[in-house]
Structure 1
Amino acid sequence: MDRHSGQHLWPRPPILPRPILMDQRWERVVFLHWRVPSAVVSSLLPRGCAPDEFDGSSWVGLIGFEMVGAGFGYRRPVPYFGTFAEINVRLYSIDGEGRRGVVFRSLEASRLAVVLGTNLARVPYRWASMTIDDDRSTIRYRSRRLAPPHRGASTDFAVARGSRDMSDDPLAQFLTARWGLHTSIAGRLTYVPNLHNRWKLLDAELSHCSDQLIAAAGLPNIAGRSPDSVLYSDQVATQFGRPYAVRASAS
């Protein structure tokens, strides 16, 4: 993809470095995205990353889904703890070696053990009380954070599923075909590779969105306006491979 023109074709998935560290499914996925100037998000990315762009802008995502069957290794789901509601706030990044990824500003989860374990690895999961209401037409995500930082921060959003296939839409592909995440470990830029099948994406119509998580993630004055992209997907299976350090310079 040309990060300035917005031209994009479904990229060939990378070869996932072995061993596979985690295996999971993401189900009933709602994607809300806001267009933002890259300067707004650049200071929130790990050193060595730059904002990835589509049509000259970067993007902020509020993503709700149900994590299902997460486990260590391949097809080894952890009972109970491997299935839970999650809502994350994420940004889009590119490093000096051209790897595109996401940067998580926060991840709400309803399993305290998951939060405690991932925080040890410096993954910003936050413990929250969460519900998913789904009548097969409209799906609603609600969450309220139960512990610091920003205890009490909440979100409540719902969308009506559409029927128009958005799988080939260039912006939809840019926002969902991400093959890893960028983070900083011991001061070094690190890439955690991720592999998944092609998303089956549908359009969706926003019913309502009252959100405090984006502001709590360091991005005020965004969620008060309507999102620029609303998408839905039933599910995708995904695996994570071995993390590795990348050089700390971005083009």
Structure 2
Amino acid sequence: MAKRATAAPEPITAEPPVRPRPAPLGVALNDVTFLHWPIDPARVGPLLPPGTEPDTYDGETYIGLVAFRMRSYGEFLETNVRVYSVDENGRRGIVFLSMECDRLPWVLAARAGGLPYAWSRMSLVRDVHRLTYTSLRHRPGPSTRGNRIRIRVGSPIEPTPFEHFLTARWRLHLRVLDRTVTAPLFHDRWPLHAAELLDLDDQLVTATGLPAPTDAPASVLYAPSVHGRFGVARPVRGVG
């Protein structure tokens, strides 16, 4: 089970924090689609790194399915399954449970750093305001693990505190060898749009060990682009 945080969670901030230094890895995220469903925090806790626990909003935590184009030493597609964490110092973050990517060198380098990447065949097709993302993992491994997301992008919105909770995340939590570490992430404020989910066929959530969502998402959002940088990962204090 995840260790309970000893400090109150930090405030949710829509604006990015001060840029971390050093911040060696620059990234651009484009055509970002966020799907979120509520899930019992007790189901998420065992999947988190030691020294973290599920972050909650009005007593519930959320699982996210997020698809996008990424640019960093080239451009590629990615879809991740993620949950939300808070560490013993009160720092809110993201824990990635799976990360699909169609660029093998990136997959290999990121897996060496402790991130749960899988090499997949992926596509993104745009038809005016409709976007369709597809993913299917390469072998070895079950070839049926993939998904298809189709959305219609709507107008820009002024996000609510709940939408900031889901999207304004400024660090990662992950397990590297025998330590839990946190890596800061700085990027522009999310330019969020309303979106409508038109179709979803997904096996990625269940591949993490979590139950498949059975209801419509609690939140569907889209962002055209942000630019940012990752800082250096450091151990979460007191976790060995």
TM-score (norm 2): 0.91
Cα pair distance change 1:229/1:148, threshold 3 Å: farther
1:36 maps to a residue whose letter is: I
Give the aligned partner of residue 237 of structure 1. 227
* Aligned pair partner of 1:41 in 25, 41, 44: 44
Equivalent residue runs for 1:216-235 within 5 Å: 216-222=207-213, 224-235=214-225
Question: Post-superposition shift, 1:196?
Answer: 1.0
Q: Which string of whole-angstrom CA distances, capped at 9 and with x for unpartnered residues, describes residues 113-172 of structure 1?
A: 11112111121110000010111211110000113444430100111011151x431111
Cα pair distance change 1:149/1:181, threshold 3 Å: farther
Contact 2:156 2:191 in 1 (8 A): no
Give the aligned partner of residue 3 of structure 2. none
Q: Which string of whole-angstrom CA distances, capped at 9 and with x for unpartnered residues, describes residues 75-116 of structure 1?
A: xxx2xxx20010000000000001110000111000111111
Structure 2 spans left out of the alignment, 5+ residues: 1-10
Instruction: Report the identity percentage.
Output: 40
Give the aligned partner of residue 22 of structure 2. 19
What RMSD over aligned residues (CA atoms) do the two structures have, in Å? 1.5
Give the aligned partner of residue 80 of structure 2. 88
Contact 2:14 2:189 in 1 (8 A): no
Cα pair distance change 1:11/1:156, threshold 3 Å: closer
1:121 maps to a residue whose letter is: G
For the residues of structure 1 that align with 2:112 and 2:53, how far apart are their CA atoms?
Answer: 26
Residue 67 (1) aligns with residue 57 (2): no
* Aligned pair partner of 1:120 in 82, 91, 112: 112
* Aligned pair partner of 2:32 in 29, 33, 45: 29
Give the aligned partner of residue 194 of structure 2. 203
Question: Post-superposition shift, 1:220?
Answer: 1.9
Give the aligned partner of residue 247 of structure 1. 237
For the residues of structure 2 that align with 1:12 and 1:229, how far apart are their CA atoms?
Answer: 20
Contact 1:29 1:234 in 2 (8 A): yes
> SS state of the match for residue 221, structure 1?
coil
Structure 1 segments (4+ residues) deviating >2 Å: 8-17, 147-152
TM-score (norm 1): 0.87
2:165 maps to a residue whose letter is: F
Cα pair distance change 1:39/1:248, threshold 3 Å: farther
Cα pair distance change 1:151/1:21, threshold 3 Å: farther
For the residues of structure 2 that align with 1:246 and 1:138, how far apart are their CA atoms?
Answer: 41
How many residue pairs match? The answer is 229
* Aligned pair partner of 1:187 in 175, 178, 188: 178
For the residues of structure 1 that align with 2:203 and 2:98, how far apart are their CA atoms?
Answer: 12
For the residues of structure 2 that align with 1:215 and 1:119, how far apart are their CA atoms?
Answer: 20
For the residues of structure 1 that align with 2:238 and 2:15, how far apart are their CA atoms?
Answer: 25
For the residues of structure 2 that align with 1:48 and 1:59, how far apart are their CA atoms?
Answer: 19
For the residues of structure 1 that align with 2:171 and 2:142, how far apart are their CA atoms?
Answer: 27
